[in-house]
Amino acid sequence: MCGRFSLAIDDIEDLALRFHVPLPDTSVQPRYNIAPAQPLLTVAHVQGKRQLIPMLWGLVPHWNKSAKSSYTLINIRSESLTEKPLFKRYFEHQRCLVPADGFFEWKKAGTKKIPYRAIVKKEPIFAFAGLWDFITQPDGSKAYCFTILTTEANDLLRPIHDRMPVILLPDEEDKWLDPSIQVGAHLQPLLHPYPAKRMEVYEVSPKVNSWKNDTPECIEPKAN
C-alpha cells in the first residue's frame, strides 16, 4: 500500500514544467510527510484541459454528500479495477497523476515497524497513477479527491512490504492522462511494478510515524 509520501518542492513552476501544464495562480510548500485527508496538487484532464488541481487524498465516491465522508479510499489495488463497476468507471474516465519525490513503507521487525523511504534515481519528481472524483458542495463548488493505485512490490521493496504504489514511467504519463483512451485493457499494461534497478530505499527517522511531523528530517537517512 501507500500511506505516506513526500513532495519537497517550493516552486510551483517546477510542477508546471515537469507535467507540461499551464502555470496556475497558486503556490506550493515543501511537504515531507503527506498523509491521507490532506490536500495536494494533482495533474488531471478536467473541463477539457490538462491542469494542476488541488485534491484531497482519499477518494470519496460522488454519491456521497460530504468530502469528509468516513468512506474514503486512499489506495486501490490495480488488479481490482476491472472487477467493480465503480472502479471501472474511474479507470476508464477519471485518471490523474499524483506528483511525488518519494514514499514511505514500514518493515515489520518483531513488535516494531521500521520506516523506509523509497525514491526514483535521477527523477527528482515522478508520478503515481491515481484516480479522482469530486463532491458537489452546498454552495455548488466541487471538492476534488484522489486515490493512489498499488501493485505488487518489486524486488527492492518486497523485503519491506508486499505492495507498492504504481509509479508511471515518464513516457507512460501522457497515455495515462489521455481522455481518448477509455478501454481499461489498453491501460492495464502501465500498472506494473517500477523497475527495482531505477530505485533506492533507505531507513528514515521514526518521526515520520506521526503525520504531525512534516519536516526535512522525515526524508533524511536515519543517523547511525
Catalytic residues: 2, 105
Given CA atoms 109, 124, 33, 188 in this order, what sign does their dihedral have? Answer: negative
Of 224, 218, 222, nearest to 8 (Cα)? 218
Residue 182's SS3 state is coil
CA distance 144 to 185: 26
Taking phi over 0 as left and psi of -120 to 50 as alpha, with beta for the rest, 206 belongs to: alpha
Distances (CA, A) of 103 to 61, 142, 211: 25, 28, 13
Of 170, 197, 175, nearest to 187 (Cα)? 175
